[in-house]
Structure 1
Amino acid sequence: MTLQRGKPIAFWGTAGAGDEVSITVQNMTASCRAATNGCWRAEIGPLEASFQETIQIASGDDSVFLHDVQVGDVYLAAGQSNMEFYMRYDADFADEMETCTNDDIRFFDYPEVSYPDQINEADYGRNFGFWRRATADQLQWFSAPAYYFAKTLQARYGVPIGIVGCNWGGTPACAWMSEEAIEEGGGGLYLEEYREALADLDPETYENRFRTDPASWRTEPFADAASVMLMEGRILEEILRGLYGDMTPPPQIDFSAMAPPMGPKNEKRPCGLYESMLSQVAPYGMRGILYYQGESDGDAHPELYATLFPALIRCFRRLWNDELPFLFVQLAPFGRWMQCVGEPYAIIREAQQHTADTVPGVGMAVITDIGMELDIHPKKKKPVGERLALLAEKIIYGEDVLCEAPTLLGMEVKDGQLRLRFGNVGTGLHLAAHTPDGAQTHPARLGGLTLALGDEELDCSSIPATADNDTVILRSSEIRKGRITAELGRGGWFRINLYNSADLPARPGRLTTNEGVTHIH
């Protein structure tokens, strides 16, 4: 395993009622007594960074020895499917397999259980609940964003990096929060909807359906052919052929009808995964939290995310009793996939930006350049992990680095030019001919830009653009003084090709100007 350096570290477990338990590591010993129910918890440390330790846990004549323990920096990788996203689906997986071997990067994935007792009702231990090393035979199991994050930091600082995965695809923020935090964040509607669902539920029918549904038991993540094809980015027609051959006519599948009903064992229920997963991981010692989530809130009540997300951050910090740095990923551009549409995700991005601007100790990784119009799971996760690592270098390790995305601050109309001014540019902006995922863009156009003169929208695809230090200059005879609205990254799908000197793409923004008076939205 990997333990967190520089902080007192909690160990917990069970023993005989009233028995004394001792922990010994790095010439330190901590002791405690088990409670009447046999549960015990002890803290030891702080520990120094180390590549090889043995821990002894003793009670009476019994001892357990934990070998090959490292001490470095540990991060929680939380969220939904784009954080869960296994390396086997990553665009660079084959290349990474050639060079990945690094014993100083380790990964623990907590089993996906939707209620606390479920972990004892199936064989989760075959694939989850133990530490893996970054080796060719284990790499496919790693969270791709978290792996690239760990790889970057391990090379940068030369200490062991551990990742604890605690995530589940398709889950809303409220599933990862306590009831108190949901109420605090204005998410009472989720609690109300859940109570209404329970009132209409037949417990026996619900239990029978849950028990007999293979999707209830997530012990073999690569065994479900449909899920694998979805994560690989196959289109629906390919998936149906893979499942049913060339059946004519092809079957009509209602994916919403296939979803399990809301109830006390549904992973999307309010507080559910907070109780069955997150609370089981805490208080394992952490340096910080990585978070990639929000798509499911865009599909439900996006208007609540602006207050719910900051409350989630406070909830995580309360659970660990530590003001942990919180590094998250802003949702990628996206058009349509299965029954999801990307337009409401603009509301989630705005809420994420507001959180990044107002909540202390947080950082937002911007990926406005690597989304996929017809796939909710961008396959290029290397930039995601590296941009999270860049945030960590500044926020956690105190480095003097540019880690913020270019931010639209002002605009001016003059002599047929529209001049857009940005912050966080470093040594200057540039327009790229292609994005990190290989998509071609026009280096003389500003991708993702929409302009409106009054109520008339202009065709930005024909307006030349150049980058000059902190300004993008657009030249067109259509540009004139009056009420102009400029939006960068509007709606669901777009692709931004404007970067600062740290190669970070611009984040979404909106400005209006009316006779020289500019307003930021």
Structure 2
Amino acid sequence: MHKLKILFIVVFALFTQTISFGQVFLPKLISDGMVLQRDVDLNIWGWASPGEKVTLHFIDQVYRTETAIDGKWSISLPPHPAGGPYEMRIEGVNLMIINDILLGDVWIGSGQSNMELTMDRVKDKYPEVISSANNSFIRQFEVPDTYSFTGPNTDYKIGSWIKADKNNIYKFSAIGYFFAQELYQEYKVPIGFINAALGGSPAEAWLSEEALNNFPEHYASLKEFKNPNLIKQIESDNKRITKEWYEGLDWKDAGIRNDWSKADLDDEDWDQMDVPGYWADNDLGLVNGAVWFRKEINIPADKAGKKGQVVLGRIIDADSVFLNGEFIGTTGYQYPPRKYAVPTGILKEGNNVIAVRIINQSGKGGFVSDKPYNLVIEGDSIDLSGIWKYRLGGSMEPLASQITVRWKPGGLYNAMIAPLLGYQVKGVLWYQGESNTDNPNEYEDLMQTLIIDWREKWQQEEVPFFIVQLANFMEAKENPEESNWAAIRQAQLNISNLPNTGLVVAIDAGEWNDIHPLDKKVIGERLALQARKMVYYELDLIASGPKVESVRRKGNQLILAFSDIGSGLLALGHKDLKHFAVAGEDGNFVWANARISGDQIIVWSENVSSPNRVRYAWADNPEGANLYNKEGLPASPFEAFIEE
């Protein structure tokens, strides 16, 4: 009996394994709520046992195939017009039913964090948009953030389609949502947005291994990171270095030992500092580690005990916040806005104390200027800027730099893009470049290679590719400057000359003190303008700001001709054009005069008798640059030379 029981278990196990192996599996993209590209041949694929027969039912048609020896199967569907919702049934040894399918236009959004940034981050800027979101014909698939160096992945571990409703709107890419909203309002066609972006990623991380062959240094890096033991060692070292640094800081921090967060702390002898600001610019100087800040605020009787929100702009790098000794929130890195809920019962009538522990790993630490700092209670705001008391808790050497594995060449292409390649799309939106500003000279080649490679991989040689140019960022300078950010913008302008490639200028949509500006609506709308003209064939639409086409010299003047001038050139908000500079043979740029003359611009400086080159908006933050067309679209920054 015992032997028979064992035999039965073995046979049953083999049987269930065969059934499991034989079942039809689908990629995460092909799932409930998906949007399929209209008006093109469609590819539906999956996996099952070798030689298994697979039947697909869709819109009153039946399609059949048989799996290949590697277990993969695919079925080609003929073009279908926009519509839905539909159901798809796929049968092998099992039955899979995909519900709520739409046919419309599918767009990919890729690049860095400004493409990835969600509606949750901009909810305070666009509260009405958030509250009114309820469009089941706008959908998003968020690609999980991951990497692989061993070869292109075939699927994602997780992922699903979501609708733009009140429950899901916060998860949508802000740029993706505003772009989709514009297109849907214009054409009433379902829009699917695939969010395949990752914060901090350089362009080379998005190139395939074949494309990286053109860049020996990056190709060698990809080869190096194919070694899983190397990755394990790096990640282990990163964790150890970070752990030891923070443990050392906590051990040194007098604020932890003596509980500087408590409300009744005697801080009479603490130094004072004007907030916002950096302690490096005050008596403490350039110190890394933990610095504690405290401020007393007076709460009227009618606000005591009420809920509220502490808003502390942005802080470099990490912070923990206490109100009357109660912990109310923490943020671990510098970029997110600090907004901490105050529960009922914490605020009291009269004197209240906010304490903030700031941890700075390197560089200047403190409160970022030109951001909101206040306590909001029932719509009323108490200003928290001004004089705070502060004291060093404990100092440390700067945290050692670490290797970010997921940003290495090829890793994001393999894990985040390769699984998309069988999925037909309408076009690509690209917002990236900040992480390549250390080496702008290779950026144009990287991006041209990327665009050509992606088009070949998708087998769509003319798939539209729309690039968002870097926004204005960092402090404005008084004099003409060399700027890697401007050099990247020039590369992006050059890249936009590729066929079926467009450029969105963003130098008026940034924030000098935030690499993640909140005005994502204008970017989405400008991307939609590009799509409307180049993809939806509204050929008379003015979709771009002025672009310099040629430069010639006449005496000590440069005569500039432009394309995309629309109904005319415009000096926005001022009678004079700003932010033009010229140089002669010595290459030293000086500010120049500029005026509009019909469809041209004349530029000159009394200090340069024979100019041979001109720059416009050539700066990290070209504050005041005001060349637009009369349709309200800004001109791209540029550097141009006279035509010999």
Partner of 1:487: 615
Report the Cα offset of residue 160 of structure 1. Answer: 0.3
> d(CA) in 1 for partners of 2:520 and 2:398?
30
Structure 1 residue 287 and structure 2 residue 320: aligned? Answer: no
> d(CA) in 2 for partners of 1:482 and 1:139?
56
Structure 1 residue 470 and structure 2 residue 573: aligned? Answer: no
Partner of 1:166: 196
Structure 1 residue 87 and structure 2 residue 211: aligned? Answer: no
Partner of 1:499: 628
1:237 paired residue among 332, 341, 366: 366
* SS of residue matched to 2:409: coil
> d(CA) in 1 for partners of 2:393 and 2:239?
32
Partner of 1:352: 492
Partner of 1:383: 522
1:248 paired residue among 392, 416, 436: 392
Cα 1:256–1:404 shift into 2, 3 Å: farther
> d(CA) in 2 for partners of 1:183 and 1:29?
43
* SS of residue matched to 1:64: strand
1:38-71 CA distance string (max 9 Å, x none) = 33222222122103111111224x3222221111
Report the Cα offset of residue 168 of structure 1. Answer: 0.7
For residues 152-231 of structure 1, what are the structure 2 equivalents within 5 Å?
Answer: 152-184=182-214, 187-193=215-221, 205-206=233-234, 208=236, 226=331, 230-231=335-336
Partner of 1:107: 140
2:83 paired residue among 46, 50, 58: 50
AA at the equivalent of 2:75: A
AA at the equivalent of 2:88: I
Structure whose residues are more often strand by fraction: 2
AA at the equivalent of 1:79: G
Report the Cα offset of residue 171 of structure 1. Answer: 1.0
TM-score norm. by structure 1 comes to 0.79
Report the Cα offset of residue 346 of structure 1. Answer: 2.4
AA at the equivalent of 1:155: Q
Contact 1:418 1:479 in 2 (8 A): no
Contact 1:283 1:319 in 2 (8 A): no
TM-score norm. by structure 2 comes to 0.65
Bigger Rg over Cα = 2
Cα 1:484–1:275 shift into 2, 3 Å: closer
Of 205-214 and 4-13, more deviation after overlay is shown by 205-214
AA at the equivalent of 1:316: W
Structure 1 residue 41 and structure 2 residue 94: aligned? Answer: no
Partner of 2:440: 302
AA at the equivalent of 2:578: G
Contact 1:336 1:342 in 2 (8 A): no
> d(CA) in 1 for partners of 2:37 and 2:474?
40
Structure whose residues are more often helix by fraction: 1
Report the Cα offset of residue 35 of structure 1. Answer: 3.3
Contact 2:546 2:635 in 1 (8 A): yes
Contact 2:241 2:400 in 1 (8 A): no
Partner of 1:368: 507
Structure 1 residue 320 and structure 2 residue 444: aligned? Answer: no
Cα 1:377–1:64 shift into 2, 3 Å: same
> d(CA) in 2 for partners of 1:103 and 1:214?
44
AA at the equivalent of 1:84: E
> d(CA) in 2 for partners of 1:206 and 1:481?
56
Cα 1:349–1:201 shift into 2, 3 Å: farther
> d(CA) in 2 for partners of 1:200 and 1:54?
42
1:138 paired residue among 168, 175, 198: 168
Cα 1:431–1:193 shift into 2, 3 Å: same
Cα 1:203–1:454 shift into 2, 3 Å: closer
1:288-338 CA distance string (max 9 Å, x none) = 111111221223x3221221211101111122111211111122233379x
Partner of 2:54: 21
* SS of residue matched to 2:524: helix
Report the Cα offset of residue 116 of structure 1. Answer: 8.4
Cα 1:454–1:351 shift into 2, 3 Å: closer
Cα 1:319–1:475 shift into 2, 3 Å: closer
Report the Cα offset of residue 210 of structure 1. Answer: 7.5
For residues 444-463 of structure 1, what are the structure 2 equivalents within 5 Å?
Answer: 444-452=575-583, 458-459=590-591
Report the Cα offset of residue 448 of structure 1. Answer: 2.9
> d(CA) in 1 for partners of 2:62 and 2:496?
41
For residues 328-339 of structure 1, what are the structure 2 equivalents within 5 Å?
Answer: 328-335=467-474
1:400-436 CA distance string (max 9 Å, x none) = 1122320224567889987644321111122223xxx
Cα 1:320–1:210 shift into 2, 3 Å: farther
* SS of residue matched to 1:483: coil
> d(CA) in 1 for partners of 2:397 and 2:63?
57
Contact 1:342 1:493 in 2 (8 A): no
Cα 1:14–1:213 shift into 2, 3 Å: farther
Mind listing any 5+ residue stretches in structure 2 that lack a counterpart?
1-33, 244-328, 340-363, 374-388
1:185-212 CA distance string (max 9 Å, x none) = xx21222345567899756534645799
Contact 1:23 1:30 in 2 (8 A): yes
Report the Cα offset of residue 468 of structure 1. Answer: 5.4
AA at the equivalent of 2:562: F
> d(CA) in 2 for partners of 1:254 and 1:212?
15
Structure 1 residue 425 and structure 2 residue 571: aligned? Answer: no
Structure 1 residue 73 and structure 2 residue 105: aligned? Answer: yes
Of 409-418 and 374-383, more deviation after overlay is shown by 409-418
Partner of 1:220: none
Q: CA RMSD in A?
A: 3.8
Contact 1:292 1:328 in 2 (8 A): yes
Contact 1:511 1:519 in 2 (8 A): no
> d(CA) in 1 for partners of 2:230 and 2:556?
67
Aligned residues: 471
Contact 1:408 1:509 in 2 (8 A): yes
* SS of residue matched to 1:519: coil
Cα 1:213–1:167 shift into 2, 3 Å: farther
For residues 266-281 of structure 1, what are the structure 2 equivalents within 5 Å?
Answer: 266-281=405-420
Cα 1:504–1:182 shift into 2, 3 Å: same
AA at the equivalent of 1:483: P
Structure 1 residue 6 and structure 2 residue 150: aligned? Answer: no
> d(CA) in 1 for partners of 2:331 and 2:191?
33
> d(CA) in 2 for partners of 1:452 and 1:116?
46
AA at the equivalent of 1:192: A
AA at the equivalent of 2:217: L
AA at the equivalent of 1:305: Y
Mind listing any 5+ residue stretches in structure 1 that lack a counterpart?
216-223, 434-442, 513-517
AA at the equivalent of 1:96: V
User: Percent of aligned pairs with the same residue?
Assistant: 30
Partner of 1:515: none
Report the Cα offset of residue 395 of structure 1. Answer: 1.4
Cα 1:175–1:203 shift into 2, 3 Å: closer
1:141-192 CA distance string (max 9 Å, x none) = 11111111111111111100110111111111121111211223xx212223
Cα 1:419–1:233 shift into 2, 3 Å: farther
Contact 2:558 2:611 in 1 (8 A): no
> d(CA) in 2 for partners of 1:147 and 1:133?
11
> d(CA) in 2 for partners of 1:289 and 1:73?
11
Cα 1:197–1:102 shift into 2, 3 Å: closer
> d(CA) in 1 for partners of 2:226 and 2:48?
38
> d(CA) in 1 for partners of 2:507 and 2:562?
16
1:365-416 CA distance string (max 9 Å, x none) = 1212223333222221112111111111121111111223202245678899
> d(CA) in 2 for partners of 1:208 and 1:424?
53
* SS of residue matched to 2:63: strand
* SS of residue matched to 2:525: helix
